[in-house]
Amino acid sequence: MLVVMKAHASPEEIQAVCDYIEKLGLRAHPLPGAQRTAIGITGNKGEANRGNLEELSGVAEVIRVSKAYKLASRDCKEEDTIIRFDGTNASIGGRDLAIIAGPCSIESREQAFAIAEKVAASGAQFFRGGAFKPRTSPYAFQGMGLEALKIMADIRKEFGLRIVTEALDNESLDLVAEWADVIQIGARNMQNFSLLKRAGKKRMPVIIKRGLSATLEEFLMSAEYVMSEGNYEVILCERGVRTFADHTRNTLDLSIVPAVQQVSHLPILVDPSHGTGKRDKVLSMARASIAAGADGLIVEVHHQPDQALSDGPQSLYPEQLITLMSETEAIAPIVNRSLVHGIKLTATTRS
């Protein structure tokens, strides 16, 4: 259910409605919009007894949301969600495109800084690097953990790049939340509901990568898990699905970009590195992603891909990242977007 407040409802009226909802044993999710605030109502108890919500002061109407996802749906919030990062010109969603680049794994301080320098120089606003790696084999390199997080925190200080990194479980989620700017939930954990709920309790942006065989509805339901806990800064990311096709490692399903945008207000990025698994197809698919209307890209970059501990074959060379940025910049206006380069922060970046 959704309570739509009148255009000029006061903060006190909104609070009063929220309090009323909580007293009914339900959960209230105030979602401010440009024109007016909507208050999503969630709860486990099936269709809620709505009490006399409609009669409360400031309430315009009470409507049922028929989709399985509520808070993630455009029914609930009409305007696109834009996630801003204080002290920077970086944002995800809205007019400006977001570019997230970096190595699959942080392998050493030297490697991370060498690549971060190239990423910053390219104009990308975000640095990604794996600290905790979900590897198919228990015997493969599992990531440098906390040490990698500290290196990335130094990269933020040095280059002004915002840090995106994956959390695998409760322990790593708490660490990522402490040290990074954006929590990434990987494709294999897209339906790790326990982890999603934990991410929902944080108050910082969460990127959810689409599972290898996730439908649109399942993808949005995973966002809903995070949002239902009160964290509304959710970003979706297409990264290829599993099919019979063998010319790429996964099949990048770009049609999910307009499909998400039609039914949800959440931003959606594309990861053409995992989406193809092959360096020589990343630039083509990056262009296609932007042209399809994506809100940005996540790409893997490595200065020495042949020596990378993971995902070398799909990592761009730094000069290819430059090309990617200029092609993105060229396509942007055609889809009513712009590409604002990340800038070095003058003041401290994270309190």
- Least Cβ distance, residue 7 to a second copy (angstroms): 29
**C-alpha–C-alpha distance, residues 269 and 302, integer Å:** 20
One symbol per residue from 110 to 149: x for binding a second copy (CB under 8 A), - otherwise; what is it? ------------------------xxxxxxxxx-------
Contacting a second copy within 285-344 (CB under 8 A):
285, 287-293, 327, 330-331, 334-335
Is the CB of 2 or the CB of 331 nearer to a second copy?
A: 331
Is the CB of 62 or the CB of 221 nearer to a second copy?
A: 221
97 binds a second copy (CB under 8 A): no
Contacting a second copy within 165-204 (CB under 8 A):
168-170, 172, 188-189, 191-195, 197
- Least Cβ distance, residue 155 to a second copy (angstroms): 25
Among 130, 275, 305, 318, interactor with a second copy by CB under 8 A:
275
- Least Cβ distance, residue 192 to a second copy (angstroms): 5
Is the CB of 64 or the CB of 242 nearer to a second copy?
A: 242
Alpha-carbon torsion angle 177, 193, 184, 279, nearest 10: 160
Contacting a second copy within 24-43 (CB under 8 A):
42-43
- Least Cβ distance, residue 87 to a second copy (angstroms): 33
